């Protein structure tokens, strides 16, 4: 039985195939020749065996039939043809060197047709039966006349594929502000969505120039540590809350999850910085008489004072306490509202029509 192999081509394009000779499977990084939709293409193996099976079964659409309905089952991977020979590699290198010249010619024809689109990259298939042109555009572009002219110019099948700016950065690659190659073009296989809420949760600057990558979109690395920040903040009281500590009522200004510190401010004593453990001890020491064990455990997490059943903390004046004959204190309930009687009568203040005569 053959093994599944993952083959990557230029840019981030990849597909999955089967290798029939299980005794001599290809090594990672080895060039192989595979059968594609229209002809043959050359790529490099990036995963073999169980690793390729897991990656292929985790939502990859490389083996799915193009244009089929979602309910349709994906087609089985095609079999890889053979290992690439030195002659195959030489043809592949020639195609890559000619792609820059092809891209310049395509840009000239785009300008001649006055189309609002940016040609990002071009890619020859190994057998030169297809030329794929990648471009970005803000609006829909009518390039039918351009395709006919390019087909007659290069004598091959032309495919224009519109991509986003993040996909463009992944194909062209580059060096980020960290000094490393873009994650999307080196090891990040899937581009997950990144929103501004990730930067807010990490208390980063919301200046787009500081949190954007080379593609002009938010940095992909903002999502790497987001789960840690969310988990760590659950141990701290919420910012803006007012707690009663050893110095009286104090407001939570900010928290430092790395040094386990809390920034407090009060009107009488000003600002101070204390460890999170000390804040919990002060709050629990003041509330251990009024608070139950369950309430104290909640206080350690949420940082909010709670009242025990049968106890009143800063009770409003419009309530009364009910006591039985033995003097035991019962539940707190609002006072009974008295019903006002509407009186009506003559000018002398006599009873109205509803009273007894």
- Residue 143, phi then psi, degrees to nearest 5: -110, 25
E strands, 246-342, are 248-256, 261-266, 270-275, 320-323, 329-333
* Dist CA 150 CA 340 (whole Å): 92
pLDDT value, residue 75: 66
**Which strand (E) or helix (H) includes residue 151?**
helix 144-154
pLDDT value, residue 353: 39
pLDDT value, residue 53: 85
pLDDT value, residue 13: 87
Q: Please report how the helices 276-287 and 293-302 are oriented relative to each other, as an axis angle in degrees rounded to 10.
A: 150
- Domain boundaries of the chain, sorted by first residue: 3-66+74-84, 90-163, 169-230, 242-302
Long-range pairs of 45-51 with CB within 8 A, sequence gap ≥ 24? 45/5, 45/6, 45/7, 46/6, 46/7, 46/8, 46/14, 47/5, 47/6, 48/3, 48/4, 48/5, 48/6, 48/19, 49/3, 49/4, 49/25, 51/6
| Pick from 254, 250, 251, 187: nearest CA to 224 | 187
Dihedral of CA atoms 126, 132, 135, 140 in degrees, nearest 10, equals -170
* Dist CA 15 CA 8 (whole Å): 7
Provide the b/e sequence for 321-332 (b: ≥16 CB within 10 Å): eeeeeeeeeeee
Q: Is the dihedral of CA 108, 110, 114, 118 positive or negative?
A: negative
pLDDT value, residue 74: 57
* DSSP per-residue string spanning 185-215: HHT--S-----HHHHHHTT----HHHHB-TT
C-alpha R_g of the chain: 36
pLDDT value, residue 356: 37
Dihedral of CA atoms 291, 296, 300, 304 in degrees, nearest 10, equals -30
pLDDT value, residue 338: 56
Structure tokens of 78?
């095609």
Count CB atoms within 10 A of the CB of residue 66. Answer: 7
Write down the CATH number for the domain with range 90-163. 3.30.300
**Sequence-ordered list of residues with C-beta below 8 angstroms from that of 218, at least 6 positions apart, any chain:** 194, 195, 196, 198, 199, 211, 212
| Pick from 269, 252, 167: nearest CA to 214 | 167
pLDDT tens, position by position, for the chain (357 residues)? 678 999 999 888 889 999 988 778 899 999 999 998 889 999 999 989 888 888 877 555 444 333 333 334 556 788 899 999 999 999 999 999 999 999 999 999 999 999 999 999 999 999 999 999 999 998 899 999 999 999 999 999 999 999 999 999 988 888 998 899 999 888 887 788 899 999 988 888 899 889 999 888 999 999 999 999 989 888 898 888 888 888 888 999 999 998 999 999 998 889 999 999 998 888 888 763 323 344 445 445 444 444 443 343 344 444 344 444 444 444 444 445 555 555 544 444 444 433 433
């Amino acid at each position: 039985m053959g093994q599944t192999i993952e083959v990557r081509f230029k840019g981030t394009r990849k597909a999955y195939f089967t290798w029939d000779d299980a005794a001599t499977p290809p090594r990672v990084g080895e060039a192989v020749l595979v059968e594609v939709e229209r002809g043959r293409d050359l790529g490099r193996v990036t995963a073999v065996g169980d690793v390729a099976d897991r990656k292929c079964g985790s939502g990859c659409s490389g083996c799915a039939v193009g244009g089929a309905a979602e309910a349709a089952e994906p087609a089985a991977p095609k079999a890889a043809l053979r290992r690439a020979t030195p002659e195959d590699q030489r043809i592949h290198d020639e195609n890559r060197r000619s792609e820059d010249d092809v891209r310049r010619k395509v840009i000239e024809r785009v300008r001649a047709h006055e189309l609002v689109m940016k040609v990002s990259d071009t890619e020859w298939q190994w057998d030169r039966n297809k030329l794929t042109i990648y471009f970005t555009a803000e609006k829909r572009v009518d390039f039918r006349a351009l395709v006919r002219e390019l087909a007659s110019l290069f004598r091959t099948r032309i495919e224009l594929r519109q991509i986003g700016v993040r996909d463009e950065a992944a194909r062209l690659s580059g060096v980020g502000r960290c000094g490393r190659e873009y994650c999307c073009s080196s090891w990040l296989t899937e581009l997950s969505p990144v929103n501004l809420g990730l930067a807010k949760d990490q208390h980063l600057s919301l200046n787009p120039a500081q949190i954007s990558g080379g593609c002009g979109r938010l940095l992909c690395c903002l999502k790497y540590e987001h789960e840690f920040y969310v988990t760590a903040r659950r141990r701290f009281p919420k910012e803006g809350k007012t707690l009663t500590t050893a110095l009286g009522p104090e407001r939570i200004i900010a928290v430092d999850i790395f040094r386990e510190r809390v920034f407090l401010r009060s009107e009488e004593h000003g600002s101070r910085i204390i460890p999170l453990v000390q804040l919990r001890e002060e709050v629990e020491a003041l509330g251990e008489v009024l608070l139950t064990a369950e309430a104290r455990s909640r206080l350690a997490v949420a940082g909010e004072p709670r009242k025990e059943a049968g106890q009143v903390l800063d009770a409003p004046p419009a309530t009364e306490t009910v006591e039985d004959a033995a003097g035991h204190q019962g539940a707190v309930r609002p006072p009974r509202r008295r019903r006002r009687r509407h009186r009506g009568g003559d000018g002398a203040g006599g009873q109205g029509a509803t009273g007894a005569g």
